[in-house]
């Protein structure tokens, strides 16, 4: 379960600093592991959830809380209402894929995953907001689509997240579907894949989940024509739990750490922060300008995704579309970052490469995107550039990297108070007209959680 961290640092070192003796022939220089105990914890939410409701998980911190490792969210889901025998359903979104160059474009993507049920995800420490992820379903969809490997999506994500899975109902009238369990990776502070020293925090760690307000997290098959409302419009979220491994070090180690912090030192936990800003976009050669104050010292990159607005009104899946994007530029405090023209119509491969650079994985052979180069299909003008249709019309995301190189040859983000993004949409592309979309700007930044000797925390931007 590994979400690739956007803009992950690459550390370089001089060969002359390495010893000539191979690593395998050297003595072990690692300190002996401290005595500790390990226990897997399932911390339940205060109540079950419904569509549009909020679920809260409270975790008391302090000396007995130990160290948190490998946290994730699990929940069970069952749909209720007036069922229709023989119908099927799947999650909306582009992160579920059965990509193959030998199948029709329309049948390639069978749906998204269970993260479509999460509208907002908030992490708080001592009532201080650490992460506030609006439109979390869009953020998850973007990261799962372009920041994990195609093989992971096709196998692991299908089991844990229901990615691309189609669920069938048994014959006959039903009022409640089967109950399905899902395991969701966390983002932000709890998704940093670092150990979080809960024993140093004086207060409470809180995770708050806002579930989607309608049944539009899924789409149905075998019910009726386009525009027919889904037969099942209610959902029950149960067994909502925060699962993690609790490591309890010996007391002497905890006392030693606190003693070191009494001199003014702080325990620092670095993590990736995401901010998602929605933007409604009208069709017809529109120019969108977004000014947003991020006010931090390390902006890793900016992403831009769009979903067709009309798809939410019908019983169909929602896929990410370029919507005839002819230019996407980002400026930090008035400084233009990218001068390359990102035109999804003429140069989709270039837009894809720059987007991958924003994810920190361009030409990374160890991670493969689910996007494939699909040839033209019926409905596209022969005069248009129809290359990379699977990317342009189904799994689109534009991105600009803001990573820079420090003197220590370590990649870092750029400081920025105000970010200005300009996206230009053409009226037509590949013979198709532009459409109304729900657009989203995603800002990816480095942040740090600092814990002092009193157990108080602060966020360093």
Task: Please check the confidence at residue 432 and state whether its pLDDT lies above 80.
Answer: no
Asked if 15 and 415 count as a contact pair (C-beta separation under 8 A), the reply is: no
Q: Is residue 22 part of a domain?
A: no
CA dihedral 229, 231, 236, 241 (to 10 degrees): -70
pLDDT score recorded for residue 323: 85
Point out the least confidently predicted range of 167-181, 204-218, 387-401.
167-181
Point out the least confidently predicted range of 20-24, 381-385, 403-407, 422-426.
381-385
pLDDT score recorded for residue 104: 43
Q: Is residue 298 part of a domain?
A: yes
pLDDT score recorded for residue 310: 74
Q: Is residue 12 part of a domain?
A: no
Q: Is residue 411 part of a domain?
A: yes
Cα–Cα distance, 318 to 290 (Å, whole number):
24
Q: Could you tell me the pLDDT band of residue 370, with boundaries at 50, 70 and 90?
A: confident
CATH number of the domain to which 442 belongs:
2.70.9.10
Q: Is residue 341 part of a domain?
A: yes
Return phi, psi of residue 313, to 5°.
Answer: -90, -5
The structural domain count of the chain equals 1
Q: Could you tell me the pLDDT band of residue 415, with boundaries at 50, 70 and 90?
A: very high
Task: Please check the confidence at residue 445 and state whether its pLDDT lies above 90.
Answer: yes
- pTM, two decimals, is 0.87
Q: Is residue 442 part of a domain?
A: yes
pLDDT score recorded for residue 226: 43
pLDDT (tens digit per residue) in 215-239: 778 877 654 444 444 566 788 999 9
Q: Could you tell me the pLDDT band of residue 391, with boundaries at 50, 70 and 90?
A: confident
Mean per-residue pLDDT over the chain, rounded? 81
Cα–Cα distance, 323 to 305 (Å, whole number):
10
Q: Which domain does 112 fall in, by range?
A: 35-460
Task: Please check the confidence at residue 82 and state whether its pLDDT lies above 80.
Answer: no
pLDDT (tens digit per residue) in 33-54: 788 899 999 999 998 889 889 9
- Alpha-carbon Rg of the chain, whole angstroms? 24
Q: Is residue 394 part of a domain?
A: yes
Q: For a pLDDT cut of 90, what percent of the chain falls above it?
A: 41
Cα–Cα distance, 78 to 371 (Å, whole number):
31
């Amino acid at each position: 379960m590994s979400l690739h961290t956007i803009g992950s640092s690459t550390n370089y070192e001089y060969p002359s600093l390495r010893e000539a003796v191979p690593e395998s022939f050297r003595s072990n220089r690692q300190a002996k592991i401290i005595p500790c105990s390990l226990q897997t914890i399932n911390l339940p939410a205060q109540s079950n959830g419904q569509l549009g409701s909020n679920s809260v998980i409270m975790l008391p911190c302090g000396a007995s809380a130990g160290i948190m490792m490998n946290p994730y969210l699990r929940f069970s889901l069952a749909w209720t209402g007036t069922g229709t025998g023989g119908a099927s359903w799947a999650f909306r979104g582009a992160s579920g894929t059965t990509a193959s160059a030998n199948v029709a474009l329309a049948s390639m993507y069978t749906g998204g995953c269970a993260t479509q049920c999460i509208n907002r995800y908030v992490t708080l420490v001592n009532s201080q907001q650490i992460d506030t992820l609006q439109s979390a379903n869009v953020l998850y969809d973007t990261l799962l689509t372009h920041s994990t490997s195609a093989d992971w999506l096709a196998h692991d994500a299908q089991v844990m997240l229901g990615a691309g899975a189609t669920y069938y109902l048994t014959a006959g009238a039903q009022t409640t579907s089967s109950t399905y369990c899902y395991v969701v990776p966390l983002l932000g502070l709890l998704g940093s894949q670092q150990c979080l020293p809960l024993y140093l925090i004086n207060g409470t760690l809180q995770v708050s989940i806002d579930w989607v307000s309608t049944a539009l997290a899924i789409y149905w098959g075998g019910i009726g024509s386009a525009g027919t409302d889904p037969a099942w419009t209610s959902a029950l979220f149960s067994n909502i739990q925060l699962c993690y491994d609790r490591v309890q070090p010996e007391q002497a180690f905890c006392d030693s750490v606190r003693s070191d912090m009494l001199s003014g030192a702080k325990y620092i936990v670095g993590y990736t922060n995401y901010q998602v800003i929605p933007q409604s976009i009208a069709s017809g050669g529109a120019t969108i300008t977004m000014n947003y104050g991020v006010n931090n010292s390390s902006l890793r990159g900016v992403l831009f995704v769009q979903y067709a607005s009309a798809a939410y009104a019908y019983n169909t899946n929602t896929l990410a579309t370029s919507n005839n994007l002819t230019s996407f530029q980002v400026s930090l405090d008035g400084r233009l970052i990218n001068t390359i023209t990102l035109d999804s119509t003429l140069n989709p491969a270039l837009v894809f490469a720059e987007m991958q650079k924003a994810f920190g994985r361009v030409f990374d052979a160890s991670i493969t995107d689910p996007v494939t180069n699909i040839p033209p299909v019926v409905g596209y003008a022969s005069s248009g550039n129809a290359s990379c249709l699977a990317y342009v019309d189904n799994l689109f995301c534009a991105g600009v990297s803001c990573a820079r190189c420090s003197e220590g040859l370590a990649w870092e983000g750029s400081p920025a108070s105000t970010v200005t993004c300009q996206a230009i949409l053409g009226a037509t592309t590949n013979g198709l007209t532009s459409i109304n979309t729900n657009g989203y700007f995603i800002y990816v930044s480095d942040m740090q959680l600092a814990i002092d000797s009193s157990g108080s925390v602060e966020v360093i931007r």
